[in-house]
Amino acid sequence: MPHHFQNELMKTVQARLPDLSRYCRMTAGTPWDGEDLLQETLIKAFQSAAVFVNHPEPKAYLFRIAANAWIDHCRKNKAPLDPYREALPLVQPHGLDFEIREAMEELFCHLPPRQASVLLLTEVFGFSAQSAASMLEMTEGAVKASLHRARTTLKRVKRRDDEVRSRFKAKSVAELADIFLDAFQQHDPAAVSRAYRSLKHRGMEAKRIIGEGMVFFQFADPDGNVFTVAAPAKKIRNGS
């Protein structure tokens, strides 16, 4: 790759990296899965460097790669995807309520991957329904229908959020770690995200460490106490 072209590519990526990184983290639900998704997105962007640099909307191009990479990952791991039927609501839905928007990162794990992508692209990162449709290879009508279902789901989830929190509060950190590990082994990104966030609410910080044939999740509490849970490395995203 010519040096000047490489510099142009890096500048184009760097300008959009903060938003892309946040999108990947919110989509994937955990920092390590978000980092994996970000790296996969950047690799694919560099592999199609000529298209990327000359694309009329480089940011949309990057987000399209990330959104479809995550949907492909969920499909590969047999996570349920939202069927995007065109079923427009009779009343055009408005944006999310303030309290739901404030809790977005915690609530996204309750949505199917495609609905989550549609909602993130439009509500958080400001893409139009038409742009989101192009990025996700959907019709604009299907995007609006997915938005309507996603908003309805999040409002319902928010109402029962206190009950869910109470149930998890009754569990010990060790029990939550077991739930987290089981979700990871079951290839369930939504359940991983829920368990991870429950541990975060207890003040636990988590790191992922990849060893020989194993992946370790190390949890540390605010007092500096550390414990580790482990799973076979073959369970890691993309089998790496």
Give the CATH number, domain containing residue 113.
Answer: 1.10.10.10
| 155 and 198 in a common domain | no
Write the pLDDT tens digit of every residue in 187-236. Answer: 777 778 778 888 888 888 888 888 777 888 888 888 888 888 777 765 44
Examine the fold and report which residue of 110, 135, 159 is the final residue of a domain before the chain moves on. 159
User: Of 151, 147, 188, 211, nearest to 30 (Cα)?
Assistant: 188
- Per DSSP, the three-state class of 55 is coil
* CB contact set of 218 (below 8 Å; sequence gap of 6+): 206, 207, 208, 209, 226, 227, 228
Residue 91 lies in a domain: no
The torsion angles phi and psi of 216, rounded to 5 degrees, stand at -115, 140
Q: Put the strands of the sheet holding 226-232 in their side by side order.
A: 205-210, 214-220, 226-232
Neighbours of 144 (CB within 10 A): 22
Write the pLDDT tens digit of every residue in 98-157. Answer: 556 656 666 777 788 888 899 899 988 989 999 999 999 898 988 988 888 888 888 887
